[in-house]
């Protein structure tokens, strides 16, 4: 038992820098791609609190309610944006109204008026930087319709009308 205070003295200084490295600044900003005339940016910024902030600034979006999510692959090359894959799941179910949900990148629907502006900021407690910055990055998708927060695997939100590639800054 006499060894314990010595061990703690040795280990604690080592733990500090390792913890700090895991929370390095990793803000990502990307322009959206769209075949429906939508333009603008999305930024994803992990914060010191551990919560990730997603800020969306788009124009040219059809009026109405739109599902917005983080998808698993940073690839907008397919015309229908199916290349972005399914939702970033991390073993969870889709939607806040479902047991075992939500996915870490499920956001509340965005309401867009006749001016076509989608301006929204979301606080995402489960969207950890490690999930976003795997080898194939992550995708941001705007859907044609509303997410019902229940249907599997993606909320029955309709087609994909805008896409952005989120990759970590090197």
Helix (H, G, I), strand (E, B) or coil at 19: helix
Q: What is the CA radius of gyration of the chain?
A: 19
Closer to Zn ion by CB, 50 or 108: give it.
108
Q: Is residue 42 classed exposed, middle or buried when 0-12, 13-18 and 19+ CB atoms within 10 A define those classes? A: buried
Which residue of 71, 87, 143, 160 would you call a contact of Zn ion, by CB under 5 A?
87
At its nearest, how many Å lie between Zn ion and the CB of residue 102?
6
- Rounded to the nearest 5°, which phi and psi values hold at 56? -115, 125
Q: Which residues bind Cu ion (CB under 5 A)?
A: 69, 141
**Residue count, binding to Zn ion (CB under 5 A):** 4
Q: Min. distance of Cβ 63 from Zn ion in angstroms?
A: 24
Q: Residue 94 binds which entry of Cu ion, Zn ion, none, with Cβ cut-offs from 5 to 8 Å by kind?
A: Zn ion
Length of the chain (residues) = 170
Q: Does 75 bind Zn ion (CB under 5 A)?
A: no
CB 163 within 8 A of CB 91: no
- Residue ranges binding Zn ion (CB under 5 A): 87, 94, 103, 106
């Amino acid at each position: 038992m006499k060894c314990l205070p010595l061990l703690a003295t040795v280990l604690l200084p080592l733990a500090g820098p390792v913890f700090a490295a895991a929370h390095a600044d990793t803000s990502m900003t990307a322009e959206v791609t769209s075949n429906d005339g939508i333009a603008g940016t999305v930024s994803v910024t992990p914060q010191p609190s551990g919560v990730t902030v997603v800020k969306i600034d788009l124009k040219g979006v059809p009026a109405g309610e739109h599902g917005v999510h983080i998808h698993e692959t940073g690839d907008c090359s397919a015309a229908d944006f199916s290349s972005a894959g399914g939702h970033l799941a991390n073993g969870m179910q889709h939607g806040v109204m479902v047991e075992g949900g939500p996915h870490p990148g499920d956001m509340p629907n965005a309401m867009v008026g006749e001016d076509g502006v989608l301006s929204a900021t979301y606080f995402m407690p489960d969207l950890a930087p490690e999930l976003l910055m795997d080898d194939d990055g992550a995708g941001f998708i705007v859907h044609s319709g509303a997410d019902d927060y229940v249907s599997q695997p993606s909320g029955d939100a309709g087609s994909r009308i805008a896409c952005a590639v989120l990759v970590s800054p090197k």
